[in-house]
Structure 1
Amino acid sequence: MTGDNEKYWYNLKTGEVEKGFESPAIDRAGPFDTPDEAAAAPEVLKARSRAWADEESKEDNWGSA
């Protein structure tokens, strides 16, 4: 994982893109290959969260008519 220090991260507290391990892990989303990908992190996280919620809903209701 040493290569992750050369990747880009989205800081969840500040909303800024960072290169490498500038912030504590709890405040970072990533890694991303480019600054543009990191900047899009909030949209990616929202989309993944919606997909997981939809999947869980389907699993919770699998036997329902």
Structure 2
Amino acid sequence: MSDDDDQWYYSLSDHSVRRGKDAPALDRMGPYPTKAAAEAALTTVRARNEAADAADREWNG
């Protein structure tokens, strides 16, 4: 088992959390170190996008 097979991934197609790369690459987010981190993937992405959008607004004045 490779290191990536021991990581957690979030599946965009069925919103499941899986260990290992069993979903197609374009359908998964990760890797995440824990199952809980993978379960929070969409929340994490949303927060990062909001922070990046705020930084862009500040940069653009």
**Distance in 2, Cα, partners of 1:5 & 1:27:** 16
Q: Percent identity?
A: 30
Aligned equivalent of 1:4 = 4
Q: Pairwise CA RMSD of aligned residues?
A: 1.0
TM-score by length of 2: 0.88
Displacement of 1:26 in angstroms is: 1.1
String of CA shifts for 1:17-53, please: whole Å, max 9, x gaps. 0111111111111111111110011110100010111
**Aligned positions, number:** 60
Gaps of 5+ in 2: none
**Distance in 1, Cα, partners of 2:52 & 2:26:** 21
- SS of 1:13's partner is coil
- SS of 2:50's partner is helix
Displacement of 1:15 in angstroms is: 0.6
Instruction: Provide runs of 4+ in structure 1 moved above 3 Å.
Output: none
- SS of 2:21's partner is coil
**Distance in 2, Cα, partners of 1:4 & 1:52:** 28
TM-score by length of 1: 0.83
Displacement of 1:59 in angstroms is: 1.1
Structure number with larger C-alpha Rg: 1
